[in-house]
Amino acid sequence: MAQKNNKSKWVLAILFFGPLIFYLLLLTGTNDFAKLPVLTQQVNDVTPFEAQKKVSLDNKISIVCFLGDDILNHKTNALNLNEKIYKHFYGYQTFQMVVVLPKGTEKDAHQLKKELGAIFDIQKWFFVYGEASEILSFFNSFKTEYQLNENMYTPYAFIIDRDMNLRGRNDDKDEPNGMLYGYNAEDVAPIHQKMVDDVKVLLAEYRKALKENKREI
């Protein structure tokens, strides 16, 4: 009888603690996996660029794009990012969108701001202006496999973390070498299917740090 009772206790213990142990193991594995890889450490800051107010990548979660001197021809990039990224994440205190443009595009940038602002409050959209050499130097600090064209344009948008590191994927199935440095904003699909998820992963990473260090995101 005692043996039967002991057996019953073991069965109950397994039924009670088994799922809990499995969940903890799964949770631990998820936390280890759910980190967005750092592809480039310490990109340059945008502080040398001209802007209406001081803009910095330091201690911010930034989406950076380069729309070139023919900005209105590439406004779809900004509209896609506005719809799929900005409207979902602008509520985070340290989140911002940064558009890097050549000097002389201020008038067209104002027009784009009006179009963006017709949909959402764009107080966290920042436009910065520099000479071509300054823009190229900044872009090259990302150390990607991409290039700016002669108009200082690239279709790719980039995720920069609070420590000014470039984040992305090192195991992307659609890239020949797995390295996804940026997300093609000309097409809504990479933004919707990849960038949204990757920003969520980064924010989850910071939420975990917030719990541990009481740091705001």
Domain ranges in the chain are 1-33, 38-213
Confidence of residue 216 (pLDDT cuts 50, 70, 90): low
Give the number of other Cβ atoms within 10 Å of residue 207's Cβ: 13
Confidence (pLDDT) at 106: 97
Confidence (pLDDT) at 217: 56
Classify residue 56 as left (phi > 0), alpha (psi -120 to 50) or beta.
beta
Confidence of residue 14 (pLDDT cuts 50, 70, 90): low
pLDDT at 178 over 60: yes
The pair of structure tokens assigned to 74 is 């590439």
For residues 141 and 57, give the distance between their C-alpha atoms in angstroms, rounded to a whole number: 13
Three-state secondary-structure class, residue 78: helix
Give the number of other Cβ atoms within 10 Å of residue 162's Cβ: 17
User: How large a percentage of the chain has pLDDT more than 70?
Assistant: 82
pLDDT at 23 over 50: no
CATH of domain 38-213: 3.40.30.10
For residues 58 and 126, give the distance between their C-alpha atoms in angstroms, rounded to a whole number: 14
Confidence (pLDDT) at 80: 97
**Global confidence as pTM:** 0.83
Place of tokens 């980039």: 158
Alpha-carbon torsion, ordered 6, 9, 10, 14, to 10 deg: 180
pLDDT at 188 over 60: yes
**Chain center to CA of 104:** 28
pLDDT at 131 over 80: yes
Confidence of residue 15 (pLDDT cuts 50, 70, 90): low
Q: Which amino acid is at 187?
A: D
Contact (Cβ atoms closer than 8 angstroms) between residue 203 and residue 92:
yes
For residues 121 and 60, give the distance between their C-alpha atoms in angstroms, rounded to a whole number: 19
For residues 85 and 93, give the distance between their C-alpha atoms in angstroms, rounded to a whole number: 15
Confidence of residue 130 (pLDDT cuts 50, 70, 90): very high
Helix H segments across the chain?
2-33, 75-81, 87-89, 106-117, 132-140, 188-190, 196-213
pLDDT at 13 over 60: no
Q: What is the mean pLDDT of residues 125-148?
A: 98
Q: Which residue has the higher pLDDT, 74 or 7?
A: 74
Q: What is the mean pLDDT of residues 107-126?
A: 94
Of 195, 192, 193, the C-alpha closest to 181 is: 195
Confidence (pLDDT) at 91: 93
Three-state secondary-structure class, residue 33: helix
Confidence of residue 211 (pLDDT cuts 50, 70, 90): confident
pLDDT at 215 over 90: no
Quote the Cα angle for 52-57-154, to 5°.
Answer: 85
